[in-house]
Structure 1
Amino acid sequence: MSKRMRIALIGPLPPPAGGMANQTIQLAALLREAGAEVELVRVNPPWRPRWAARVRGLRAALRLLPYLWRLWRAAGRTDLLHVMANSGWSWHLHAAPAIWIGRLRGKGVLVNYRGGEAPAFLAHSARLVGFSLRRAHAVIVPSAYLAREFAQYGVTPQIVPNIVDLQRFFPPPARPALQPTRRAAILIARHLEPLYDHATALNAFVLVRRALPHARLTICGEGPELARLQARVKALMLQASVQFTGKVQNTDMAALYRKTDLLLNPSLADNMPISVLEAWASGVPVVSTDVGGVPDLVRNGVDGLLVSPGDADGMARAMLSLLKDATVAHRLADAGLASAQRYSWTSVSPLLMAQYRRVLKRPMQSGYTALVSSLLFPLHEWIKRHDSTAVRRRMDRTQWWPQPHIEALRLQRLRDLLLHASEHVAYYRQQYAATGFDAGRVRDLRDLRSLPVLYKADINNRREDFIADDAGHMQRFTTGGSSGEPLIFYLGKERICHDVAAKWRATRWWGVDIGDREAVLWGSPIELRAQDRWRARRDRVLRSELLPAFDLSPARLDVYLERLRRRRPAMLFGYPSVMCLLVEHARSRGVALDRLGVKVVFVTAERLYPEQRSLLGAAFGAPVANGYGGRDAGFLAHECPEGGMHITAEDVIIEILDPQGQPVAPGESGAIVVTHLASRDFPLIRYATGDVGALDPRPCPCGRSLPLLKSIEGRVTDFVVAHDGTVMHGLALIYILRDLPQVRAFKIIQESLDCTRVLLVSVNGLPPLLHLSIVTQFRARLGASVDVVIEEVAAIPAEASGKHRYVISKVVST
């Protein structure tokens, strides 16, 4: 852990040595070994006085008040409450109070819900449970089974499996050959409760003994069923072959597993039994009932055998198939041993730590930031008739949906977009007719490939045909990025508010929010003129300050450093190249930036190089979060604290294509093609961004189901250097050309301080007055004596890499 976490771990402790109690004590030890400071808050202390245990109402009251006091104090000393939760009264008396006390004390709350009886409990108490559960900052469950159960009630938990200690549980050095003439040792390691159906297991054992008279059954655990089960053993005349061990400490269970030939789990309801994991790790084959979450854990015939609950005959047949056939038993045991590796601390800890960081990085819910994010900014968006707040709240939920649910959402939204385009957008009506495309027959996201790729030239040539005939108010924009041909296009309120929501959601991933102090290194002289009084006042309310990136002279950088020192922003946002230049300047001045209190550095609009990430992270003492997108294509992807570059999948479909327009294999690089699902007013369907990138097929440890980008290889924009040595961002020159209707494409090449060439593709030739205007504006930025040579060409050649670049500077800044 990079920072010492202070965790209050709330749950039962042995005795009794049940699965949750063992997991609680084991987790505490593992977290401490990982560097965390853990305070245990026990929910099942010994009864004092002992006679109180026999009076149900009294015993609950005697335990509850001291528990609440210990919980209140622990919450004050820690940063995060990890609540081990179960069904029934345990939830109401232990878990729910922990959630509310954590929230009252302003601490992060993670609920770790477990227990195979959750379906019945939720069906009976869903509203009451959900009322508290939704106040937790994160909910984790150990199995896909429980995740599905909770999803039915509008809760999307993340799966963090149970842990098995591979240092304690391991196979014997020499595995004995399983032969009927030797031993047939069967083990059941569950509490003696009706839920675990030991009675059926005894009936099955009778059938086993008919084939293997020497078979032995060991039943570990204690519980209210002991007397009844002992009587049943006596009635079946099994006293010599059935042993009740009583309570066995978890430290002693490992030796017992290594003397066992088969584990039997006869449960009537179950989630993710620890005994199965321990048996696997010990090299013991498993027979289990196929209840609850067990089929998600055990693959029938692969790493275990599954039977129906209450089926003594089926249970006996499964056990005999292993006890009589050493080859099958060893095959299942080996597969189980391999499966156990997935539940080691090494495998599980990254998932748990990601959820801890998610909770600890939550935006603050108090102070001026909370006022802005929950009231003032939503009011600002409402006045503009934007649905950004509602969209962001939906995105906060959908990011945790299972991937099939996200894909279903995308497919439905794609159908809606394609059908709307066929009815209201002239360009697509003609495209559909020319290709025979039927939007009503779209059944899969891959059906989108029937449409041609859309290029900037297609839009520029027929711009008016892309405007929907039912479009509302739209704003005109021009691309000013670093790749491809400049594009003039329009955005409606739907697209704008979805982009705002996507950026807002990603911002909150890092523990900051709208209303936190922000410094933005961005813009150009043209964009600065758009900062009217209304916007300036709005930015003051939102505590956002613009530091123009076009003039980066040493004097200007000194001013920026002073403004950062005074403002102490929680977050920075801007071009990575500009921020790196600022860092280098600060170092030359001996100015430390790691004491400003910056929590995160957001970078976008350019490719982020590893050395830039290292430089910025070290200088500001804060993580660097990369973002990818553009005004034309939308807010496409953003990096989460676990390093995953998450695509805004609710709004965006990204394809990676080869030069022939065919999809590349997952993980391979190709052209990035985007369909934005919130662009009905001016649809961009299969739009070629001009960038190169790759998808990442691996899941992110953070638990978000949003797909990932593996790499983004476009968006490179150089600095240019004025004749007097002033360094400015290349966009300062790009903005001069990008909005000119007579200019179709361009490339700026700064050959030296004295000469800059402009390759330019014009429409019907460049008028003399416009030629003079461009030269004058370039000289105003680069210097009056600089020779600006404009060369009109038929096309702009690509770089050797296949990429396009607006600006290439051959001048080394000093």
Structure 2
Amino acid sequence: MPGAAERVVLVGPAHPYKGGGARHTTELAHRLAAAGHPTVLESWRAQYPAALYPGRQTVHAPEGEPYPATRRDLAWYRPDGWLRTGRRAGRSADLVAVAALSPVQVPAYLVLLAGVGRAARTAVIAHNVLPHERRPGDTALMRALLRRAGTVLVHSAEQAGLARGLAPGADVRAAELPPHLPETGPAPVGRPREPGPPRFLFFGIVRPYKGVDVLLRAFAAGAPPGALLTVAGEFWGGSAELRGLARELGVADRVEFREGYVPAGELGALFAAADAAVLPYRSATATQNVLLAQRHGLPVIATRTGTLPDAVRDGADGLLCAPGDPEDLARALAAFAAPGTAERLRAGAAEAAARTAARTDALWDAYLHALTAR
């Protein structure tokens, strides 16, 4: 069960910001309040400079139930607001927890925590201890933030080791990231699974560490004739290079690039048009994309990195391969197309989704305890 009731100020993105970080922060606020912790969510009205976050930052329709006690006073260009929010949090809370998704947030969080001072306990929820693609100064910024925190909460043993390396002696706690999936639109009713070559799907932000270039090479080498691939999501830096690679590999006529953020209400139809989701990540921490695909009945082909091998059971509800290895991913794509494999893995994906649904409340209880326990 969660720790004794405390007043909590949670700092992080919420609607109208999109994506997993905003959904996690919002669901965490709901869960804290439901567990008896009076919670205020301090969110952003301007989270990142556009030059540092080239994708779309906000959405019109909420992707889940907004948290009612939400303030939106923080802006990346207003340091006075960072300090004012911290002082207000220190006066009203027993615990102030900040959700760190990027080192870009660290200057604001350091000023905010300075405003809290010793008036309340502090915690950093480190979604990524260090970015997958690092800029100069990222390590120094995260080191400073983790050393300032009273508690550091991470989502895997690997990330815990990294956090302890940056902040020796810190109170680092690891808890499995609980489900916080968006409210997606339903799949089209009555649409039968058509026989024929498989349809593969990559969805999410397209960045180098996600390995879409590896997927294209593997698709060209290992996918059966007639197989189709859809790459759906925001392309940081544009899609020209990947489109050129598809042409070079001779698969441009079988690869659809669906550029732009896919709203939650359109995900049901997107998944219904695919036979398997592919997560060819070069590196990973924790992702909800496996759970999201499984909830829509899709097996997942993923790399053995981060927590992906914990979420995908090789040969039971998906297939695993080596990260950054087009040949091994090609092997997995070909194996998925073997007779009977897709049907078996689809049944396994449905079972995995049912297990996740049954564990959700227990996972959130454990997460709240890791965050709030003294």
Counterpart selection for 1:329 from 314, 332, 345: 345
Contact 1:188 1:265 in 2 (8 A): yes
Once the two structures are overlaid, the 10-residue window that deviates more, 15-24 or 258-267, is: 15-24
| Equivalent runs, 1:611-630 vs 2, <5 Å | none
Pairing 1:137–2:150 present: yes
The residue number in structure 1 matching 2:84 is: 69
Contact 1:184 1:323 in 2 (8 A): yes
Pairing 1:114–2:127 present: yes
Alignment coverage as a number of residue pairs? 347
Call closer, same or farther: CA 1:238–1:129 in 2, change over 3 Å. closer
Pairing 1:350–2:339 present: no
Contact 2:31 2:364 in 1 (8 A): no
The residue number in structure 1 matching 2:307 is: 293
CA distance in 2, matches of 1:131, 1:223: 28
Indicate the SS of the match to 1:161: coil
Contact 2:276 2:300 in 1 (8 A): yes
CA RMSD of aligned residues (A): 4.0
Call closer, same or farther: CA 1:218–1:126 in 2, change over 3 Å. closer
Indicate the SS of the match to 1:267: coil
Counterpart selection for 2:178 from 163, 166, 175: 163
Contact 2:13 2:21 in 1 (8 A): yes
Counterpart selection for 1:80 from 73, 92, 95: 95
Q: Which amino acid in 1 is paired with 2:204?
A: R
CA distance in 1, matches of 2:301, 2:94: 42
Pairwise CA distance, 1:117: 4.0
Q: Which amino acid in 2 is paired with 1:195?
A: Y
Once the two structures are superposed, residues 312-332 of structure 1 have per-residue CA deviations (whole angstroms, 9 ceiling, x without a partner) of: 232232123224423432354
Q: Which amino acid in 2 is paired with 1:112?
A: I
Q: Which amino acid in 2 is paired with 1:354?
A: H
Contact 1:265 1:288 in 2 (8 A): yes
- Structure 1 unaligned spans of 5+: 360-814
CA distance in 1, matches of 2:164, 2:358: 24
CA distance in 2, matches of 1:178, 1:320: 19
Pairwise CA distance, 1:112: 1.0
Pairwise CA distance, 1:70: 3.1
The residue number in structure 2 matching 1:12 is: 13
Contact 2:130 2:139 in 1 (8 A): no
Pairing 1:278–2:284 present: no
Call closer, same or farther: CA 1:33–1:243 in 2, change over 3 Å. farther
Once the two structures are superposed, residues 623-651 of structure 1 have per-residue CA deviations (whole angstroms, 9 ceiling, x without a partner) of: xxxxxxxxxxxxxxxxxxxxxxxxxxxxx
Indicate the SS of the match to 1:62: coil
Percent identical residues: 23
CA distance in 2, matches of 1:333, 1:170: 19
Contact 1:177 1:326 in 2 (8 A): no
CA distance in 2, matches of 1:303, 1:97: 45
Q: Which amino acid in 1 is paired with 2:23?
A: N
Call closer, same or farther: CA 1:229–1:145 in 2, change over 3 Å. same
The residue number in structure 2 matching 1:473 is: none
Pairwise CA distance, 1:132: 4.2
Pairing 1:147–2:154 present: no
CA distance in 2, matches of 1:124, 1:290: 28
Pairwise CA distance, 1:276: 1.3
CA distance in 2, matches of 1:16, 1:120: 22
CA distance in 1, matches of 2:85, 2:112: 10
Pairwise CA distance, 1:265: 0.9
TM-score norm. by structure 1 comes to 0.38
CA distance in 2, matches of 1:89, 1:39: 23
Pairwise CA distance, 1:161: 2.2
The residue number in structure 2 matching 1:27 is: 28
The residue number in structure 1 matching 2:261 is: 247
CA distance in 2, matches of 1:112, 1:326: 37
TM-score norm. by structure 2 comes to 0.75
Contact 1:170 1:283 in 2 (8 A): no
The residue number in structure 2 matching 1:340 is: 356
CA distance in 2, matches of 1:100, 1:278: 38
CA distance in 1, matches of 2:133, 2:203: 24
Structure of higher RCO (CA pairs closer than 8 Å, 6+ residues apart): 2
Structure 1's consecutive aligned runs of 4 or more residues displaced over 6 angstroms after TM superposition are 1-4, 123-128, 169-177
CA distance in 2, matches of 1:165, 1:139: 20
Once the two structures are superposed, residues 142-180 of structure 1 have per-residue CA deviations (whole angstroms, 9 ceiling, x without a partner) of: 122212333445345222222324794799698977665
CA distance in 2, matches of 1:335, 1:124: 44
Call closer, same or farther: CA 1:231–1:34 in 2, change over 3 Å. farther
The residue number in structure 2 matching 1:38 is: 39
Q: Which amino acid in 1 is paired with 2:146?
A: L
Q: Which amino acid in 1 is paired with 2:26?
A: I
Call closer, same or farther: CA 1:93–1:167 in 2, change over 3 Å. closer
Call closer, same or farther: CA 1:212–1:336 in 2, change over 3 Å. farther
CA distance in 1, matches of 2:243, 2:193: 29
Contact 1:144 1:293 in 2 (8 A): no
CA distance in 2, matches of 1:137, 1:152: 16
CA distance in 1, matches of 2:359, 2:112: 27
Pairwise CA distance, 1:251: 4.6
Call closer, same or farther: CA 1:266–1:161 in 2, change over 3 Å. same
CA distance in 2, matches of 1:66, 1:117: 26
Contact 2:103 2:142 in 1 (8 A): no
Counterpart selection for 2:201 from 187, 192, 200: 187
Pairing 1:257–2:271 present: yes
CA distance in 2, matches of 1:22, 1:11: 10
- Structure 2 unaligned spans of 5+: 54-74
Q: Which amino acid in 2 is paired with 1:352?
A: Y
Contact 1:190 1:220 in 2 (8 A): yes
Q: Which amino acid in 2 is paired with 1:147?
A: A
Call closer, same or farther: CA 1:44–1:230 in 2, change over 3 Å. farther
Pairing 1:320–2:345 present: no
Return the index of the structure with the highest Cα Rg. Answer: 1
CA distance in 2, matches of 1:185, 1:18: 25
CA distance in 2, matches of 1:131, 1:46: 20
Once the two structures are superposed, residues 572-618 of structure 1 have per-residue CA deviations (whole angstroms, 9 ceiling, x without a partner) of: xxxxxxxxxxxxxxxxxxxxxxxxxxxxxxxxxxxxxxxxxxxxxxx
Indicate the SS of the match to 1:288: strand
CA distance in 2, matches of 1:343, 1:77: 33
| Equivalent runs, 1:384-783 vs 2, <5 Å | none
Call closer, same or farther: CA 1:276–1:68 in 2, change over 3 Å. farther
Contact 1:170 1:282 in 2 (8 A): no
Once the two structures are superposed, residues 461-492 of structure 1 have per-residue CA deviations (whole angstroms, 9 ceiling, x without a partner) of: xxxxxxxxxxxxxxxxxxxxxxxxxxxxxxxx
Indicate the SS of the match to 1:300: coil
Pairwise CA distance, 1:196: 1.3
CA distance in 2, matches of 1:343, 1:115: 24
Call closer, same or farther: CA 1:165–1:125 in 2, change over 3 Å. closer
Contact 2:84 2:115 in 1 (8 A): no
Contact 2:11 2:43 in 1 (8 A): yes
Indicate the SS of the match to 2:202: strand
CA distance in 1, matches of 2:281, 2:16: 22
